[in-house]
Amino acid sequence: MELPHVDLEQIRALMKLMEQFNFDEIDLREDGRRLHLSRGGRQRSGAAPVVVPTMVAPSLGGGEGKAAAAPVAAASAEPGAGIRVIRSPMVGTFYRAASPDSPNFVEEGVHLTDDSVLCIIEAMKVMNEIKAECQGELVKILVANGEAVEYGEPLFHVRVS
């Protein structure tokens, strides 16, 4: 079964609108497809909202579409006091550098700013920069270069300052 095209930029824009207007859920339906975005319950300050996209593909041979299994970030406790887990916002391939002969974006022990680029995740031939969006020390890199990552998978541990 072929998955429907997903426009990641549109999903990001919807996520920003949800944050800006404090929406907990958005449910869009068009031509037999469905996009459902939901923020998790109110989280501790500094924690990013959990957004779970769910796509419903048109069925093959009539009838209603069936929801594809949406990956959900495991509800796990923080690894320690003052440590923030940065999770993958999408399914794709994790890269620590812009190209094989470029230096890594970050190494363990470096100080991060909100705009620090941590990695690139390639999804559907699009390179997506993942930024820290917090300040602190990069404590642990949890994924190997070139490894496939799932939505919500932990990528980094940052000791926030």
Name the residue ranges covered by the structural domains of the chain. 1-69, 83-160
Q: Each residue of 91-136: pLDDT tens digit?
A: 999 999 999 999 999 999 999 999 999 999 998 888 999 999 999 9
Range 145-149 average pLDDT: 94
3-class SS string, the chain: CCCCCCCHHHHHHHHHHHHHCCCCEEEEEECCEEEEEEECCCCCCCCCCCECCEEECCCCCCCCCCECCCCCCCCCCCCCCCEEEEECCCCEEEECECCCCCCECCCCCCEECCCCEEEEEEECCEEEEEECCCCEEEEEECCCCCCEECCCCEEEEEEEC
Range 133-147 average pLDDT: 94
- According to the CATH classification, is domain 83-160 in 1.10.1060.10? no
- Full-model pTM: 0.52
